Amino acid sequence: MSVSDNRTVLRLAFWGIPLALGVMGLKMLAWWVTGSVALLSDGLESTVNVIAAVIAYAMIGYAAKPADAGHPFGHHKAEYISAVIEGVLIVVAALLIVWEAVPAMMAPVLLDAPALGLAINFVAGVINAVWAYVLIRAGRQYRSPALSADGHHILSDVVTSIGVLIGLVLAIATGYAILDPLLAVIVACNILFQGWIVISRSIDGLMDRAVPDDEEEAIKQAIAANAKGSLGVHDLKTRQAGAVIFVDFHMVVPEKMAVGEAHDICDRIEDAIRTVHPGAKIAIHVEPEGETAHGVRVKVSGVRK
């Protein structure tokens, strides 16, 4: 990721904080004017968005720090820490919602000023929907786990808000007050599920998961198209740490090939891979012909026989 890209991601993370505060304020106002437990549950989830936005901003800034003696491969994985914390906070929010909803199911009451409360919550939902789209798109474009996690969580918040609005309209229309706390419990179950998704994806990133199959295939094609002069490559490994992709493989060359010639092939391959994945960190181990090769070879076009 370039310096300008890092600044863009950090700027988006920063603006997520006041937006999350504003949406939380609107949702808590909607709860205050109606007394709805379902709207309270929606507001409690938004408090998680505020905390998550602050943590994401801090972790994205830390992840952008250059490599140093203590962290020679960089600080990219810090974004995954942000996503894991957000997932845990989501689970905590779900438990708080259940804590509020269960007693309300024992003594349900009809809502106060329902139209005003629903209108306020609807405005908050629209703001969240637009911001979720921006974050998910940016997270995909800049390979930012923190932005992606935040965007998907906010999107789940939008789905929750839609469900709450529909359910409360039904509660008002039918007069069944118990639908309000019942909706809150359903919201809590959905939030728990979303929290599990966020945590599992983030832990997967911390465990050095390989890049997706289509991206690995693109790397293989870049190698195959630019490895002329070598005898083949093998032991290709990839992993993704935040916005950065790491590529590692062995390249076999004729035993008597000059070091400079082998180096030129490596430079050509590295340039091709970085065309597919800008900023990729690449390690190529050059082996002379005849050395025992381990792993599965990747077929290379234009190799010298």
| Segment 144-201, tens digit of pLDDT | 777 887 887 788 778 777 777 877 787 777 777 777 777 777 777 877 887 787 778 7
* pLDDT: which is higher, 275 or 6: 275
Q: What is the pLDDT of residue 109?
A: 66
Structure tokens at 201: 């994806």
Cβ proximity of 234 and 293 under 8 Å = yes
**258 confidence band (pLDDT: 50, 70, 90):** very high
| φ, ψ dihedrals at 295, nearest 5° | 95, 180
pLDDT at 81 over 90: no
Cβ proximity of 276 and 219 under 8 Å = yes
Report d(CA 253, CA 260) in Å as an integer: 12
* pLDDT: which is higher, 195 or 277: 277
How are beta strands 281-288 and 244-253 bridged, if at all?
parallel
CA distances, 170 to each of 117, 184, 217, 278 (Å)? 15, 14, 50, 51
Per-residue buried b or exposed e for 62-86, using 16+ beta carbons within 10 Å of the residue's own CB: ebbeeeeeeeeebbbbbbbbbbbbb
Global pTM value: 0.65
Give which of 129, 131, 121, 126 is closest to 18, Cα–Cα.
131
Mean pLDDT over each residue of the chain, to the nearest integer: 81
Report d(CA 268, CA 223) in Å as an integer: 9
Q: What is the pLDDT of residue 110?
A: 64
| φ, ψ dihedrals at 292, nearest 5° | -60, 125
pLDDT at 44 over 80: no
pLDDT at 131 over 60: yes
**Cα angle vertex 25, ends 22, 29, to 5°?**
145
Q: Which residues contact 194 (CB under 8 A, 6 or more apart)?
A: 90, 152, 153, 156
Report d(CA 262, CA 240) in Å as an integer: 27
Cβ proximity of 183 and 38 under 8 Å = yes
219, HSE (Cβ side, Cα atoms, 13 Å): 26
The pLDDT of 191-215, averaged and rounded, is 79
* pLDDT: which is higher, 265 or 4: 265
**304 confidence band (pLDDT: 50, 70, 90):** very low
Give which of 83, 63, 91 is closest to 200, Cα–Cα.
83
| Segment 93-124, tens digit of pLDDT | 777 777 767 776 776 666 666 788 888 989 99
Least confident of 122-136, 190-204, 291-305: 291-305
**300 confidence band (pLDDT: 50, 70, 90):** very low
**295 confidence band (pLDDT: 50, 70, 90):** very low
